Structure 1
Amino acid sequence: MQGVPQQFDHPSDQAEFSQPAGRNGIELYRAHIVRHAFDPHTHEAFGFGVIERGVERFRYAGSEHLAPPESIVMMNPDILHTGRAETDGGWRYRMIYIDPDVLAEISGEPQWWFSGAVVDNDRSRARRLSCLLESLWRAREPLAFDSLLHQFVTELRPHARVPSPARDDKALRFAPVLDYMRAHLGDRILLEDLAAVAGLSPFHFLRRFQAQHHATPQQMLMALRLHAAKRLLAAGEAPAQIAAATGLTDQAHLTRAFVRRYGVTPARYQRQVRA
């Protein structure tokens, strides 16, 4: 598409996604990023990964984090985060995204939660997790994949908080707002619309929302739109139709926004996860 890059600006930047055919709610990711800076984005899944080389800097839950080599990254669902290289040579890493209900099924324990985004003092576990992520990527037999998946989750268990801490009143107040956004991704949403859902005046709502989520309502809306676009691409929908369904201007807008958040074009992502 004219004017839209089909790859990163820097030739060393590479990212690749994969979804196992026999297990829904799982997505694998591996990347080497040197120059690209990821825009704020979110996942409706837990994100677990290992930094294999270099150092990543990312903003998560309102704080800056550094993830050095052989550190474990653990992200809870629905929290906006960024990502960029802290070292000249970039950083190489692997991730797995697991839907909350799938994680509960695998572990036999609902309501996992992680209080820290980076663990950098458990290198032997990080190495084991990295090997398991590589094995999950290469696994072709569903039974082998599921066995490795269970082993991976078991390795993470010492760092989990179970059950998760009770959500405070502020978080509960904004949950319907996020549901409203998800239900109206293709619509023109006004500040007044969201404030009415929360039962607050418009700018009082905006201040409270930003304090709670460390992001503006518009940033959250764009993150939810792009996450929905990922799911539709994985389901085989055409990018032009997805752009309209998720409230983006056109396919070029979808492509630019998708690359900034996920590091690949929508077309490439669709090929990877449907291969």
Structure 2
Amino acid sequence: MASPPTTDWVHRAPPARGLERIEAYFAGHGYDMHRHDTYAIGRTLRGVQSFQYRGGWRHSLPGTTMVLHPDEAHDGEAGSHDGFHYRMLYVEPALIQQILGGQPLPFVTGGLCNDPRLGAATDALLRGVDRPLDPLEQEDALFELAHALNGVCGVIRPRRPMDYVAAERARDYLHSALDRTVTLEELATHSQRDRWSLSRDFRLLFGTSPYRYLSMRRLDLVRALLVQGQPLAEAALMAGFADQSHMTRQFRQAYGLPPARWLKMLGR
């Protein structure tokens, strides 16, 4: 039997709207504790994938679907001497909302799920990451995924009604403001919703706060600029961060590793 590799690597699929797919291998320690504002849905292909999540250790084995909720802290490391090989799908909550029509995001409490509905729904999106997804294939797969998550979780309706349209206006506005400071009052005015109702609805609908959402979109831009060859300092400023150290700190908090290591694992 071939020995497991000793070098960590990450392979990213061709880009797709609102979606990121990776395949990766880690020989030992993978990620420090971090949190991002997307769903992380994946499957371990080989080995044991161990991570801390919501106050306890989880151990993913081949055949189990991992579902990490947006903005929930987690890390990652090998649970055996063979390392762990896995595929992961990062889905923007806004895509799930567009399918479900504005309700609290489905939440898989323990982070691991053996329900065959979810396994079947993720198959199309977690196949080999070397080829791009056909646009209609992606839309169909996301529809199945959103409804599988909803069915597995049994979403509870909130006591107070939410304004999905106002929250979506705020989300769109944040995309236009990556390079400047934004206030909640400004968002509320644009969204035609009072500040605190907007803040509550945004969290329930998109899984994170408006400020965290804006920070993560800035980090998305940083990653794109780094892959294009921009230096760290210039990428930080172009994405609206005060300086390189501020960006690096937030990068590590979001992805569990510093940008230089992230680039090295991509072979850049």
Identity among equivalent pairs (%): 17
Counterpart among 56, 59, 81 of residue 51 in structure 2: 56
Match of 1:187 in 2: 180
**Could you state the TM-score of these two structures normalised by the residue count of structure 1?**
0.59
1:69-93 Cα deviation digits (max 9, x unpaired): 23112579xx444323699879945
Counterpart among 69, 80, 104 of residue 61 in structure 2: 69
Quickly say closer, same or farther: Cα 1:97–1:36, change in 2 above 3 A. Answer: closer
Amino acid in the other structure paired with 2:60: P
Match of 1:95 in 2: 87
Query: Pairwise CA RMSD of aligned residues?
Result: 4.8
Match of 1:259 in 2: 252
1:198 shift after superposition: 1.7
Counterpart among 142, 146, 165 of residue 131 in structure 2: 146
Which whole-Å CA distance do the structure 1 matches of 2:58 and 2:257 have between them? 23
Amino acid in the other structure paired with 2:48: R
1:175-210 Cα deviation digits (max 9, x unpaired): 221221122112011111111122123333323333
Amino acid in the other structure paired with 1:39: H
The question of 1:208 aligning with 2:201 is answered yes
Which whole-Å CA distance do the structure 2 matches of 1:68 and 1:31 have between them? 14
Match of 2:113 in 1: 119
Which whole-Å CA distance do the structure 1 matches of 2:90 and 2:74 have between them? 19
Unpaired runs of 5+ residues, structure 2, are 1-6, 93-97, 151-160
**Could you state the TM-score of these two structures normalised by the residue count of structure 2?**
0.60
**Kept in 2: contact 1:48–1:74 (CA 8 A):** yes
1:78-112 Cα deviation digits (max 9, x unpaired): x4443236998799452344789xxxxxxxxx969
Which whole-Å CA distance do the structure 2 matches of 1:194 and 1:157 have between them? 29
Which whole-Å CA distance do the structure 1 matches of 2:206 and 2:143 have between them? 27
Which whole-Å CA distance do the structure 1 matches of 2:221 and 2:68 have between them? 19
Which whole-Å CA distance do the structure 2 matches of 1:204 and 1:189 have between them? 17
* Partner SS state of residue 160, structure 1: helix
Which whole-Å CA distance do the structure 1 matches of 2:173 and 2:230 have between them? 23
**Kept in 2: contact 1:15–1:29 (CA 8 A):** no
1:32-61 Cα deviation digits (max 9, x unpaired): 475954333134xx75421341443446xx
